[in-house]
Every structure is written in C-alpha cells, then in structure tokens.
Amino acid sequence: MRKSLLLLFVLSSLLASVAPAFAQRTTASVRGTVTDPSKAVVPGATVTVTNRDTGLTRTTTTNAEGVYSVSELPVGRYTVSVELQGFKTATRTDIVLNVADDLKIDFELSAGALSETVSVSAESTPVKTVGGDVSGVITGQQVRELPLNGRNFLQLATLMPGVSAPDFLNVKDKGLLGGSDLSVSGGGVTANMWTVDGANNNDVGSNRTILVYPSVDAIEEFKILRNSYGAEFGQAGGAQINIVTRGGTNDFHGSGFYFGRNDKLDAKNYFLEKAKQPKDELRRNDFGWTLGGPIMKNKIQFFASQEWNKEKRGTPRAFFVPTAAERAGNFNGPAIPGCTLRTPIDPLTGAAFPGNQIPSNRLSPGGQTFLSLYPLPNVTPSAGSCNNWVTSVTTPIDYRQENGRLDYTISNSSRLMVRYTQDSWQNNAPSNQSNLWGDDPFPAVDSNWDQPGRSFVASLNQNIGNRAVNTLQFSYSANKITVTRGGDTALNTRINQLIPSIFPSSGHEYPGDEGHPVFWGGGGYQPLWNEAPFHNNQDLYVFRDDYTLVFGKHMVKAGGLFSTNKKNEDVGGFGSFEQSAFWGSGGLPGWGSTTGNILSDFLLKDMTFGFSENSGQRQVPQRWRDLEFYVSDSWKASPRLTIDYGARYSIFYNPYAADNKIMSFDPATFSASLGSDPCNGLLQPPGTSWCKDAGAKGGSTGPNRSLFPEDYNNIAPRIGAAWDVNGDGKSAVRAGLGQFFLRERLSPGLNVGNNPPFIKNVNGLRTLDSNADPCGCFGTTLGAPNSGREQSAKTPNNWQWNVSYQREILKHTTFEVGYVGNKGLDLLRTADINQVLPGDSNHNGVDDRLEYARAPGGSPPDLRPYGFGDHRITMWEHSGHSMYHSLQTQVISRWGASQFQASYTLSRNRANVALDNSSGGLSADESRLDRTNPGADEGLANTDRRHVFNAALVLAGPALEDQHGVRAALLGGWEVGTIIQAASGQAVTVYTGGLPGLNGGPSGTGYTDNQRPNVVSGVSCLADSSTNPEQILNPAAFTLTGFQLGTIGNEERGGCRGPGLFQTDLAFYKTMRASSKLQVQLRFEIFNVFNRTNFLSQGLNNNMSLASVTLDAAQTKIVSFTPGGTFGQATKTRDARQAQFGLKILF
C-alpha cells in the first residue's frame, strides 16, 4: 500500500511538472523528419497542416534534429506543406487522418526557389510505421455505403480480424435488443471500452450494452484498437472502440433518407416453413436527415441529424406446450415420442387416475389458470421435433435519435467541440423475445420496455507554443431503463388472485404492477416469467485532459482520468422476483409423492412445490469513482525505428451504496454457533448496525462502505516498436506488449443488496392455491445470505502482445499478417460458496454428494457447509483466467471511391470462464463446477471460433458526368456493396440439468445447471444433419450410463461446436445528379441474399434434463440412460433473406 501511494505521488508530481492531463484519444497526430537531398536533417523549416474541409490550420517548425510533430488534430482530410528559404516548397495532399492515428510523413526538400512547389498525393492506405498496437479503421464511406441490416454501425466491427461474435449478438437492433457483445483478440465481451467522441458509452451495469447508437449518417469513422494499444487508453482489458461523429465543413452539405421493408420481399423462416405457418410479419420504416455547414467560415461549423426507426416485426417462436385436454386434466391424448411425459399417477393410490383423468373436484384453480399462460398447440410436430406450437409474434419497436455538434475555432491555437446525442427506444408488449432480455416466449402476459440514452461531450483543444498541445474534455453519459407490465392484464390479475403471494401486495415495492408468479420450467416445458416491473438508470460524469509535448526525438504524453458515477438499479433482478417462484413439485403433504408429470402436478389440488418469494428494498443506489494517470513517450530512435513506452496507473474504486444498505457474505466471519441466523457471515458498512436493528445476532463490520478491499496496485506497463524495414514506408514490422486493467461490471455490488436484513425471504414448500404453510416448511422471514464477494483486492486484467508485418503489395493496397496473444488474469466469475462438498459431514457412512444427488424431490438433506438448509450462496471471485493465441491477417485496398477489405483469423481461446457472460449471478457457463477441483472448468471459452473470415467491398462505377443522354442515365453512377461473413461454430458445453428422480443432479453439488455428463470416446459430438438439419449435437456422443452419482462428468468445457455461419449481404446503388449540387440515390439491399439457414447456438438444447435414467438397486450409479427427444436440436435461426428499398437525397 505504501509503495502504491508513493508511486501515485511520483506520478502526480511528474504530471504536474508537464501539465495536468486526462485522456482517451479521439484525435490524430502527424510527425516526421525533414531532410535535404544529401539526407542531412533540416532544422527551422516551417510545417503547415491544413484541414481541407474546415480550414483549421496548425503551424510548427522542425527542431534541431529536423523533426516536426503536430498532435490533437481532428480526424479528416489534410494537406501538409514544408517551407524553408533556399528550397522548393514541398506539399503532401489528400492525407486522411483517422481517429488515434499517429501518421509518419517524412519530407525531402529540393533546392530551388521558395515559390516553386513540389506536390505529391498521399497514399490512401499507408503502411503503419509508428506504434506497436494492432488496430483497424472503418471509414465513413463504409459506414454509409455497405449494406447494414438495421442500419447499425456495430455490424462493421465484426469485420475486423480477431473479432469473435457470440451467436446471441444482435447487430440489427438498438436499445436493449442490441448489444456490444464482441470478443476482440481473446478478451471477454464485457471487457471492451466503447466511446463516442471520447465520451464513455458503456452501460457499466453489464458492460455489454451501449448507451447511444449514433446514426450511420452521423458517423465520420470509428477505430478499433484490438491489442497492445498505448498508455493513453484505459478502463478496458479488451478493445477500445472509438466512434467519431461527423462535424460541419466550410460548405453546406446534407441529406434526407428513407429505407423501407415489407415481408413480401422476404423469405420465410425455417421453422415457420417446416410447420407450414404464415411468414413472419415485417414492416419497417427508417427515415431521417442530416445537415452540416458553416456558421462562420473557417471559424464555426455545425452538424445536426435526426433519425426515426418504426418497425413491426414478427419473431418466430417454436415450443412444446400443453394440449387443451391436458389443461382440463385429461391425459388420454396421443403421445409424442420423446416429448410427452408419462401418464400421471394418483399420489394417494400409486395407480393411474380413473380413465387417466384427474377428477374435476381435485383440480387446482390456480394451476389451471396458470397453465393458460401457455398458448394452445397449432401444429402437429414433425419427426424428430417436439414443437407443437410454432408461430410468429409481431412486436412493435420504435426508435428515435437527435444529434447535434458544433466545432468552433476560437483562434489558431484554440478549438472547441461540443456534441449532444439522445436516443429513445421503445418495445411495447408483446415484447421481442431477444437473446438476453425479454419475457418468456408466450405473449399472454408481457412487458413494455423503454430505454432513452444521452451523451454529451465538450472538448477544448489548446496549442501551447509550437511544441505542446493540451486538450481538456468533460463528458456526461446516461441511460434509463423502465419495464412495465403489458399484455393480458385481466389474466395476470386472475392468476395473482388464485395463487396468492406470501407477502401482501402493499408490502411490495411496486404494488399494483406485479407480474404473475414464476415457473422455472421442467418436463420439457418452457419457464414462465414476466420481467415487469424493473427500473434502472445510470449517470457517468467524466473529466479528462491530454497534454502532448514534443522535444528532440521524443513526443511525450501525460494524462489521467477522473470520473464520478452513479447507478440506481432494482435489486435481485426484475420485479418478478417479488412474486413466488416455483420449481419442482414436492408431493402431497403427508405423502411426499408426485404424479410423475409436471402438468398434472400443476393441476392436482394440494400438490406442493418448491418455492421462494422475496420482499425487499427496491434499489441499490451504487456510487463509484475512477482515477487514472498515465505517462508515455514515443521515441524516434532512428530514422526507421520508433519505440513507444509508458505506463498507466488505475484506481477503480469499488462501488458502494449511497444509503449503505448492502451486506456481503464472508466465509471467514461465519460462526457455526450462530447457526441459521440470517446475518451469520455477513459484513455491513462501517458505522451501521443493520443486523442488530433487525434483531439478528450475526453481522460484522466490513473494511469500507463498499465492503471489499480496494486495489491500489494497478500499474500497467505498455511498450511497442515499429520498424520501417526499407525506410520507404512500404514495409513495417511492429510489436507490442502491455497490461490492461478493466473497470468491471457492477453486478457484484448490486447483488450484495439482495441479502438480509434488507430482503425478507420465504422458501420451502407450498401449494399453488394457498399461501398457508402446509407442512411447517417455510424458512425464516429474514431469509439467508444470498451473495458475497471475495475479500481480496484484485482487478481483472489482461496481458496483450503481438508481432505483425505489413506490406504495400500494390498501389493503394496493403497486406498485414500477425501473431496476436492475450492472457486474462483475475477475471470475474461466480461460485456457489455453499456447494455440497465431498465427504461425510453427517457421519452416516454415505458421501454427501451421493446422498444429495439421490435425495427425494423437495427434501434434500442439510449437507451444505454454511448451513441455511438447502440454500445456495453466490460468491463473486476473481479466479478466472484465459489464454488466447491467434493468426490474424488482413488485406485493405482503397482506390478512388471504391474500397475493399478482407480478413481471416485462426485462433484458440482456452479459459475457465465463458468470456461471454454478463449475468448477475450463478449460471451454467460462468459458475465453478467443483470447488475442490479447479481444473474441472478448463476448456474452450464460449467465444472460441477456430476460423473467422470476413470481406467487405464498395465498388463504385464511373459517374460518366462527361457523358449525356441515355448512356449516362443508364450506365453512370452505379455502386455495389457487399459483406461476406463465414465462421466456424462457437464452443458449446453440454449440461445434464435436473434429471427425473435426481433433483440434485447426478453430481450432487447442489447446483444442477452446470453439471456435465460423460463423453463417449471415439464418437463425434456433431450430428449428421442430413436428415434433420436442426439436429446439431449427436446424442450418442454423451452418456450418463455408468455414471457414479456424486462424481463429476468428464466432459470438458467447450467440448463441442455449435452451428457455423455463412452469410452474404448485397446492395445496389444508383446515384443520379439532379443538378451540380443535388444528387438522388436509389438503393436496393438484400441481407442473406442466398437465404442460407444459419442456426444459432443460442437456443440450442444442450441440456439433458428431459433424459430418462434408471439407477442400480443401491442407488449409487446410473445403469441406463435415454436422452430426451429434442436434445442437441437448434430452436433459433438467424434471419432468412430480407430486402429493403432506400432513397437518399444528397446536397
């Protein structure tokens, strides 16, 4: 600690001696060396850099080494000229500066008169001869001219080498349906930093959604720093994605646009076609405008834009639902092999009900009404499928955005930029069942979703003489998520009346807006839940400043960052968690047996179910601050070698609650003598006495308000080198190495608000029709600890490194190949700290895991190490790690108005975490399988895709402006754009889930979701899909036969692959000139032009919970096993072919 504080003091003193600084670059730099014909350096030459569009001019002189440098230049087109008496003026035109560029441009002056000029046009795709980072740029032309499904810029980020997108990434939507789930060069999907003009654009709650989606017509460009970037960038262990918005110029320019879609132009979804159902509806209208120009030429320019998206979209859904007869208690209907559950038995007699019909006087009113949330079947399942309900549910989506930017050149040495953007996104009921958000797939009772976002930034750039530049920036970023109930309100109310809650409605935080109770699924039937009500808002206030100083052969940068932030989010997930949540049936009171069929269990009066219900505080008002400093130097060690080195120091303060109402479980403070005291093992903020005030005996004082130790040791070194091989700027070898610390998501801080005494919890067994305790089964009204965070000061971080070679292979064309690596350390993941452990804790001669695995439903033995009955405790810990190796290649070519780029990545990413998870608790992919065996979680990360290929082309034909008549009208102004994407499937893990008769799962750890089976040696895990295309996994490759209960299966994480991807998007544009300043562009865009069915791993049935198993006589081993009929089948696809028309008016 003392060493860290000393380092902080030294860094602060160093920064103060140079200038105050806070940074995240959205500008660019130009530097180089000026020589004469004898190669001697030329000091004292005047170098002028001029922006061709805005008139911004910066002037400097070469130093004694002939070196010049001009930094903090806005992105755009530039001309650089060099003048000195006795030499001809040298000029380089058509220089394009992209965000975060550090472009090297050397000049050789020729003897002659100053009035003579030697002008050379710059290369459109220069070889990068400065910096050891791996990066790529998406130009404004690509953003606006390539076919983007949903006009979402994020799709273009997937074209970069090293980018792996999980199947649940949605690049056609915005708002909560969208997401930024990209794994870049081996990093996690929540490890990236997204900025707009330098303003933080991350929702820090999950780190997987962004706050605003700049319109593609308002984007100048964006750059992705994929590996080993400089010390001026922080807060991310993965990539830096910097989006720069368009600014005005000295000429007025603008556009109006309209894009329309209609399902009459679309192909039918695979599942709808198979079920002979109508095509999913689609009506989409995108329209808007842009306008930019001068308020005062060379002084003040503005740019403004507005866009609307209005859509009604059908989303295909295919599931197994109860029949009308089954809902009435009649189980005489024809069985669907592998799908229909067994004929129910009467728990009172052990025999079937008379006529396989539950008597009407024994039917549960609550159960019957609850099952009405399922729709009725509308199709007969085809062979190999259980889906008897296949349809398309039409959902409304409305989006609007306003954007405005002002650039003010105060003087030749001062420039101000101000930009404000706001989004409005709404998805009213029935909500879209997206990949990570949304209600259950059945639209009876649904939710209305609303997310406005805001982003403001002000940046002041100040030249200090000819050698220094300072940029001060303030940004404010925010969003607000609101979910309210929609759909069939009468049905929701009737269910809540017939299945009464334990805690009265008046005790809930949102009385009158509660959704119906939750059913977590079982027996092949989908869970039933409702997200409403939910409220969540975030505000980020960030102050930054960059200072750059050039002297000799050095360009020194120093900076830092300070932010103060808040997020108020509903605790414990969504509003449904205040309602009863039901899972497996526990039998009739006094009998302990069930019907053997989850539907008849629901329908049979007096049947008990495992349940839990909470009533607690509404929100956790999290507050946190970030403080960072950095210093770096770019040293021109020789005319052909540049070395960059520096370090960044980060303090990411743990979030605390503004009202101090958080508690965290700490095993070290647990006392067996306190037993099931609700505060046993809990830490509380200093100066509080929450546990004592609630009448509990437990509770200890935590280290600070956040309850977790702070980490003051985050010093991140960075080093890179670039070698201009021949000194001609045509070939370069680059290398980089660095450490990168991540501002992790806020999930742990939110979930520790879900502990006693702030949350009252009742759990155990109850019937649907009554909230009375049927068997003395209810737990304590103050509940038990639910979550905690390890008491160690660690920050997730990644070591990144690369070696690459880039060569200009043709004029305007470069080829790059490189090795890129990434090692993740101290990554966040979860574990059930109260997991059942091997051993014989109750001294009955039976291993605890074996005893738990074979325990009867609803009555597992009390075998957990920290007591509290059969209760899981989520522990957030930094025990995750990953290792990524890759070959990344790319070709880029730009000529005239045309562009082409293609990339290929060969990679492997091993980890003990999923790397694609942003959940707020235990989950199958993210949670530790076995606390006693750390190696059990090793394998391929979910983000691992072995092969990824992408290509994008914008091909502009001749305008034929010198032609007239029919020839020019028909053949001139054509343009073609295409995107081709191909990738192998992402890594997939198979899980056993809860099995019939084995409610604890075969491994008996106390958490069934992440237990795995054994694999069959020599059998491919991928199915032969020639007869059934949606059968992705081979059921014969996984088995439970011979599985010893209480042990861990031998399947490795990521042991198989999901379906691959191949898709081509195509666009045709025709631009017609109406006048010298007015153009009209007609567009026709086709997505998935070849209508290839691309199944998704998301929605893949990789869970064996429908399997049937038979135990040996001793009930220690599974002797026979039959997988469920839908195991290994895909249930979702990417979009079938869609098309849209577009019209643009440009002036």
Higher confidence at residue 1073 or residue 512? 1073
Cα(816)–Cα(803) distance, rounded to whole angstroms? 11
Average pLDDT value for residue range 52-61: 90
Token code pair at residue 512: 């009158």
- Enumerate the β-bridge partners of residue 545: 472, 560
pLDDT of residue 857: 57
749: left (phi over 0), alpha (psi -120 to 50) or beta: alpha
Residue 431's pLDDT is: 81
CA distance from start to end of the chain: 61
What does the pLDDT read at residue 342?
A: 82
Count the residues in the chain: 1147
> How far is residue 262's CA from residue 1074's CA, in Å, rounded to a whole number?
29
Q: How far is the C-alpha of 731 from the C-alpha of 33, rounded, in Å?
A: 18
Host H or E run for residue 49: strand 46-51
Q: Is 1114 helix (H, G, I), strand (E, B) or coil?
A: coil
Asked whether 376 and 324 are in contact (CB, 8 A), the reply is yes
- pLDDT tens digits for 92-123? 998 888 888 888 899 999 887 777 767 777 66
Query: Which pLDDT tens digit goes with each residue over 808-855?
Result: 999 899 999 999 999 999 999 999 999 999 999 999 999 999 999 988
Q: Determine phi and psi for 114, rounding to 5 degrees.
A: -60, -30
Report residue 359 as tokens: 């008597």
Asked if the model's pLDDT at residue 1092 lies above 90, the reply is yes
Instruction: Give the separation between CA 650 and CA 658, rounded to whole angstroms.
Output: 23
pLDDT of residue 575: 46
Mean pLDDT score of the chain:
89
Residue 390 neighbours by CB under 8 Å, 6+ apart = 271, 272, 274, 275, 277, 316, 317, 318, 378, 379
Residue type, 215: S
Radius of gyration of the chain (CA): 31
> What pLDDT does residue 506 have?
60
| Residue 766 pLDDT > 50 | yes
Judged by DSSP in three states, 482 sits in strand
Residues 6+ apart with CB under 8 A from 810: 893
Helix (H) or strand (E) segment spanning residue 48: strand 46-51
Residue for token pair 């607690």? 616
Does 184 have pLDDT greater than 90? Answer: yes
- Contact by Cβ (8 Å): 338, 447: no
Q: Which CATH superfamily is domain 17-121 in?
A: Carboxypeptidase-like, regulatory domain (2.60.40.1120)
Say if residue 944's pLDDT is above 50.
Answer: yes
Helices (H), 89-237: 140-145, 154-157
Q: Which residues of 77-102 are buried (b: 16+ CB within 10 A; e: fewer)?
A: bbbbbbbbeebbbbbbeebbbbbbbb
| Residue 971 parent element (H or E) | helix 965-971
Percent of the chain residues topping a pLDDT of 90: 65
Which letter does DSSP use for residue 578 in this model? G
The arithmetic mean of pLDDT across residues 974-982, rounded, is 96
- Residue 325 phi, psi dihedral angles, 5° rounding: -65, -45
684/706 Cα distance (integer angstroms): 9
Q: What are phi and psi of 772, to 5 degrees?
A: -75, 150
pLDDT class for 6, splitting at 50, 70, 90? very low
Higher local confidence (pLDDT), 987 or 433? 987
Residue 44 to residue 724: CA distance in whole angstroms: 25
Between 579 and 169, the higher pLDDT residue: 169
Least Cα distance to 282 among 319, 310, 318, 317 occurs for 310
**Confidence (pLDDT) at 8:** 40
Cα–Cα distance measured from residue 12 to residue 4, given in angstroms and rounded to the nearest whole number:
12
DSSP state string for 311-362: EEEEEEEEE----HHHHTTB--SPP-TTTSPPPPB-TTTSSBPGGGB--GGG
Residue 335: band (very low, low, confident or very high) from pLDDT cuts 50, 70, 90:
confident
Instruction: Identify which has the larger pLDDT, 430 or 589.
Output: 430
Strand order in the sheet with 46-51: 57-61, 46-51, 76-83, 89-97, 117-121
Are the C-beta atoms of 665 and 656 separated by less than 8 Å?
A: no
Could you give the 3-state DSSP secondary structure of residue 491?
helix
Question: How far apart, in whole angstroms, are the C-alpha atoms of residue 788 and residue 873?
Answer: 7
Containing 885, the helix (H) or strand (E) segment is strand 874-895
- Whether the Cβ atoms of residue 49 and residue 30 lie closer than 8 Å to each other: yes
- In the predicted structure, residue 561 carries a pLDDT above the cut 60: yes
Angle, alpha carbons 156-160-161 (nearest 5°): 160
DSSP 8-state symbol, 467: T
Residue 820 three-state SS? strand
pLDDT at 1145: 96
* 144-179 core/surface letters (b: 16 or more CB in 10 A; e: else): bbbbbbbbbbbbbbbbbbbbbbbbbbbbbbbbbbbb
Phi, psi of 673 (to 5 degrees): -70, -20
Residue with tokens 């706001």: 422
pLDDT tens across 709-736, in order?
999 999 999 999 999 999 999 999 999 9
Q: What is the mean pLDDT of residues 137-149?
A: 89
φ/ψ bin of 1042: left (φ > 0), alpha (ψ from -120 to 50), beta (otherwise)? left
Spatial contact of 575 and 517, defined as CB atoms under 8 Å apart: no
pLDDT digits (tens, 9 = 90+) for 1019-1069: 999 999 888 899 999 999 999 999 999 999 999 999 999 999 999 999 999
Task: Report the DSSP beta bridge partners of residue 657.
Answer: 622
Count of beta carbons in the 10 Å neighbourhood of residue 10: 11
Percent helix, strand, coil in the chain (nearest 5)? 10, 45, 45
For 879, residues 6+ apart whose C-beta sits below 8 A from its C-beta are: 826, 827, 829, 831, 912, 928, 934
Residue 974's beta-bridge partner residues? Answer: 1070
496 φ/ψ angles, rounded to the nearest 5 degrees: -65, -30
pLDDT exceeds cutoff 90 at 964: no
Find all residues with CB under 8 Å of 948, minimum gap 6, and list them: 163, 164, 903, 904, 905, 907, 982, 983, 984
Structure token pair of residue 41: 């350096």
pLDDT value, residue 262:
95
User: Per-residue pLDDT for 4 more than 70?
Assistant: no
pLDDT of residue 19: 37
pLDDT value of position 16? 37
Own/partner contacts of 57-62, CB < 8 Å, gap of 24 or more, are 57/412, 58/412, 58/463, 59/412, 59/466, 60/466, 60/467, 61/466, 62/33, 62/34
pLDDT of residue 81: 94
pLDDT value at residue 866 = 94
pLDDT given at position 859: 62
pLDDT of residue 577: 58
Q: What pLDDT is recorded for position 780? A: 54
Looking at mean pLDDT, say which of 956-970, 999-1013, 1131-1145 comes out highest: 1131-1145
Cβ atoms of 583 and 525 closer than 8 Å: no
Alpha helices in 704-762 (DSSP H): 747-751
Domain ranges, ordered by start, for the chain: 17-121, 988-1054+1097-1131
pLDDT interval class at 17 (50, 70, 90):
very low
